[in-house]
A and B are shown apart, each in its own frame.
Chain A
Amino acid sequence: MKENKKIIHVLIVICFLFFSLVGYLTYVQVFKSKEIVKNSYNRRQFQVEENTVRGKILDRNGVILAYNEENGGEQQRKYPYNSLYSHVIGYNSKVYGKSLLESSYNSYLLGLDEYTKVFSLFKSSNQDKKEGNSLLLTIDHELQKLSHELLENRNGAIVAMNPKTGEILALVSKPDFDTNEEMLANNWKAMVESQSAPFLPRATQGLYTPGSTFKVVIAAAAIESGMDDQKFNDKGVITIDGKEISNSGKKAYGEIDLKKALAVSSNVVFAQLGVKLGQEKLQEISERFCFETDISFDIPVSKSQFQYEKMEQNDMAAVAIGQGKILVSPLHMAMITSGIANNGVIMKPFLVSSIVSPNGKEIKSFKKEEFKKIMEPDVAIKINKMMQEVVNSGTGKKAAIAGIKVAGKTGTAENELTHQKKDKEHAWFIGFAPAENPQIAVAIVLEYSGSSGGTIAAPIAKKIMEKYLKEK
């Protein structure tokens, strides 16, 4: 019948209309819903926040670093140490949103995780405010405070971690800012416009030329290639591919071995080493040491860079002394240091050790975990010895602690500003102590300090390690 055929047309049209509803609904849910739900006019997001006492954040010894306070019926986040944790905990603001730990652990802090949801189903009454879970950090508040003081008003970063577990003990970046709501409101505009980038968590997201600290990586490659017993002739200056590379102060050391070369941070020797190792080895070792690799951490970390497709001889020489197109984050440098300290194995760095429910029950805990094996134990032990020599007799003497063996490496990194003939090098120091049984590893960078790592970074490392080991 002709009409039945037309009724089928109608059916097709109606089905098409309904499927377009389903399709559109699904499309928006998949691709647009996050953006829609986050709109500041969606009162739901604040509703949860207003009805919840956001969990506290505590250091490893129970010092309260962030808590909620009720102010005229409104929940307000308080940070008693103002700017001290701005690049670790971040901020939680109704106006400016959330950052760092406040953002990555938001659902736990608000008690929105699956565990809390299921177990509170039959408990709380609608009238009471819900309580979120607390975070217990691996940070040692005293050490964090000391690091913060030692940086003074210089820009830079300090990372201290336990090389055997991966626990982050201190994580300081400067410049920093007060994370309390009213201070954010007062300073926001100026900070956004500021050239010193106060919002950048330098310790995790800042990328710096590693300078001579990268020589420990090259030393590992050299040892693996059987060059640890070779002697090198250091005349103070060497020309590779028409480009002159010289030691600091053009000092000539004569016939020296790898250990001595690292101790005095000989650019001439390491430049030669770089050429000898060749592109393949350099690329392999940088990859093995986690350059161009995503590091999963409790807060975002920038990828360290090793940007070479094809290397010329002078590129190899530049890389071997930590210059050239390589960039590293302070956290990554601390991890490499920890890897050497921990017999070649990097432990996964972590900031949050456990999550505790309002009634004191641990609902999740984070244990030490191997991140990557970067070298054989015997290579690590050799580098460890060499790094002790740096502190005993080389450029890192100022990091020495009486009665404790310290291993370290200094660095003075040229950067885009030093090319304009200004006194603007980054000062680096990496190290760990006690050398025979490492408890703490540090990485320190002072931006555009114009001074050498041995002069200004090493003493800071010394004080941090000394304090931590004494308290233990």
Chain B
Amino acid sequence: MFEIFTYRKPINYVIMLNLLAYLIMFCNLKPYNVETLAFGIGIIVMICITYFIILKSNFGDEYLFLIVCMLISLGIIMIYRLDNNTGIKQAIWTAIGIVLFFVTCMIFRLIKIWDSLAVCYMVTSVFLYLITLLLGRNINGATNWIVIGGQSFQPLEISKILYILFLACYFKNPDQLFFRSSKYDEAKRIYLNKFILVLFTFINIFFLMLQKEWGSILLFFLVYIIVLYVFGKDRIFFLCNILMTIPVALFGYHFVYHIRVRIDTWLNPWKDIAGKGYQITQSLFAIYSGGYFGTGLGLGRPDMVPAVNTDFIFSAICEEMGILTGVAVILLYMLLAYRGLKVVMKVKSKFNQVLGLGITTMLGLQTFIIIGGVIKLIPLTGITLPYISYGGSSLISSFIILGILQAISKEDYIDSDGEIDEGE
């Protein structure tokens, strides 16, 4: 019985965070709204049930979910504080996401043919890009949303997963992805498959350029480079890929207006605060107005930041919960990346290894790109903060990714060291 209240159980930290946050919001947001407390209790119940299922049904690494739980909680708290209705929507998306997490986990374990579907991934991916181009709606300045039955959704989030799956297929057998039964000799087969790998990567980048998704281009490319570094056998090929980025980056800076503007406003946003530097400066005002401990939930003005519940949610967290919470969030992502890579190192099958590495680096880099952007460490590119930003498609794809990672962790997990380490 007493075990429920012990500080040794990481889940209790998640519960504590939620309890305190909703209590503080109840006190600070006038007029008093009992729904706030009810909503908070609902969230806690949802988290506890999920955690209980994971624990009882022996799902593998439980810490992955715990870390994500903490991030999800922070996100829902902040979004709920900014707008109650959006917060409720986010909670519903989270519930759907959790269901999908379990479903993905099961499907991934039951069906074993994932490594032979490379053509499907490529075709689906290109199909998604094409319908985005044709049916895309412009929401918040980016033409990468499609609307189905009143629900807007971003196909890009699915493309990310497809791309990682494709990478995993390729690196499983670099010489046998295609042309397996052809009459070409082995060297030629490797060469042709390599060509397809580069081609598909550039198809992704090309479509992302059409959507002006610079942040995602960076993300795809970095994941590609990292996977290539770890699993690629051909050093010269790897170096060529790296060297190629330099002329492309220079070309981008000189001839693509959007990229130049982003870099210029990064170098000096104060020059044009009312115009091009507006977003980033408003974000900086928010982050540093809170100081180390923040203004307190409901007492700051994060609503002054544009796109605050998606791209700039980190600024809102820093303003109201303080720089220290911001640092804690960054460290949580670092722990997530660490757990993910730990899983990857213990996994035996090549396909799962590449998949795990791709997923983990994608989560980690996406976090770095957006947080680095809003604190002005790197040029700002609008992508979402995984698990925290508001948005159904982002949340769902993040949960599917987590489901795959969880499945991998269970599949080949060699539970040798008793698992009492710094996971919390």
Contacts and interface: CB of A to CB of B under 8 A. Distances in A.
A9 B361 CA distance: 12
B304 A44 contact: yes
B143 to A, nearest CB: 30
A189 interface: no
A10 B361 contact: yes
B237 interface: no
B301 to A, nearest CB: 5
A21 B357 contact: no
A28 B337 contact: no
A3 B291 contact: no
Contacts of A28: 288, 375
Interface residues of A, number: 35
Most buried by A among B274, B281, B288: B288
A100 B300 CA distance: 27
B125 interface: no
Interface in B318-361: 318, 323, 326-327, 330-331, 333-334, 337-338, 341, 344-345, 353, 357, 361
Interface string B2-39: 00000000000000000000000001111100000000
Main secondary structure of the interface of B (DSSP, over half): helix
A37 B288 contact: yes
Contacts of B304: 43-44
Contact of A24 (B285, B300, B377): B377
B155 interface: no
Interface stretch (B108-116, B145-153, B223-231, B379-387): B223-231
Contacts of A44: 285, 289, 300-301, 304
Interface stretch (B62-70, B194-202, B364-372): B364-372
B273 interface: yes
Given A7-B344, A10-B230, A18-B331, A41 B273 contact: yes
Contacts of B287: 25
Contact of A14 (B231, B285, B334, B372): B334
A42 B285 contact: yes
B51 interface: no
B288 A29 contact: yes
Contact of B337 (A4, A14, A21, A32): A14
B274 A41 contact: yes
Contact of A41 (B285, B327, B357): B285
Given A11-B337, A17-B364, A121-B27, 16 more contacts: A3-B231, A7-B341, A9-B230, A10-B230, A10-B341, A14-B364, A14-B368, A17-B368, A18-B331, A18-B333, A21-B375, A25-B375, A26-B327, A42-B289, A43-B304, A44-B289
Interface of B: 27-31, 226, 229-231, 270, 273-274, 281, 284-285, 287-289, 291-292, 300-301, 304, 318, 323, 326-327, 330-331, 333-334, 337-338, 341, 344-345, 353, 357, 361, 364-365, 367-368, 371-372, 375, 377
